[in-house]
């Protein structure tokens, strides 16, 4: 296995409001390797989306470091986040910039990363985990 797929999602009810992030990591055959969700306290939708990528990368680093370097496709239903993390759009928000810097450090350790926008309907697994975290918090 040298390629994995990560679906990420984040959300905040109230924006800002109670926020959570989630991810689903699959191998190249579509088997779920790991899932995770995390309540973040009060935050914005964008902060939750960024944190979803960060916590997914931390999971990859923790559990798959023996497989590095990996090729990873990160799929998210936020076109803004995909474009910012791909370097197409600039990030002006200082709070997001801090999370971006942490993500870039993890990227360098993990391998080759590609960010892909997908419609919300194709991101149902990560979306369900975010909503579950927010409902049960």
Which pLDDT score, from 0 to 100, does residue 90 have? 94
Strands 70-76 and 3-12: parallel
Per-residue pLDDT in tens (0 to 9) along the chain, 137 residues? 689 999 999 999 998 999 999 999 999 999 999 999 999 999 999 999 999 999 999 999 999 999 999 999 999 999 999 999 999 999 999 999 999 999 999 999 999 999 999 999 999 999 999 999 999 98
Predicted local confidence at residue 1, as pLDDT: 62
User: pTM of the full predicted structure?
Assistant: 0.97
Query: Closest Cα to residue 48, out of 26, 24, 92, 15?
Result: 15
- The domain limits of the chain are 3-135
What are the residues facing 70 on neighbouring strands?
111
What CATH architecture applies to the domain 3-135?
2-Layer Sandwich (3.30)
Torsions phi, psi for 9 (to 5 deg):
-155, 150
């Amino acid at each position: 296995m040298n390629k994995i797929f990560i679906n990420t999602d984040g959300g905040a009810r109230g924006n800002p409001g109670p926020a959570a992030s989630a991810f689903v990591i699959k191998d190249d055959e579509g088997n779920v390797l790991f899932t995770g969700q995390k309540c973040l306290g009060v935050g914005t939708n964008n902060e939750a989306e960024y944190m979803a990528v960060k916590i997914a990368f931390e999971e990859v680093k923790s559990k798959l470091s023996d497989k590095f370097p990996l090729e990873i496709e990160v799929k998210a239903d936020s076109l803004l986040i995909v474009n910012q993390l791909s370097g197409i759009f600039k990030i002006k928000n200082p709070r997001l910039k801090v999370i971006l810097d942490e993500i870039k450090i993890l990227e360098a350790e993990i391998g080759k990363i590609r960010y892909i926008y997908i419609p919300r309907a194709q991101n149902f697994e990560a979306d369900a985990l975010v909503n579950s975290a927010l409902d049960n918090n």
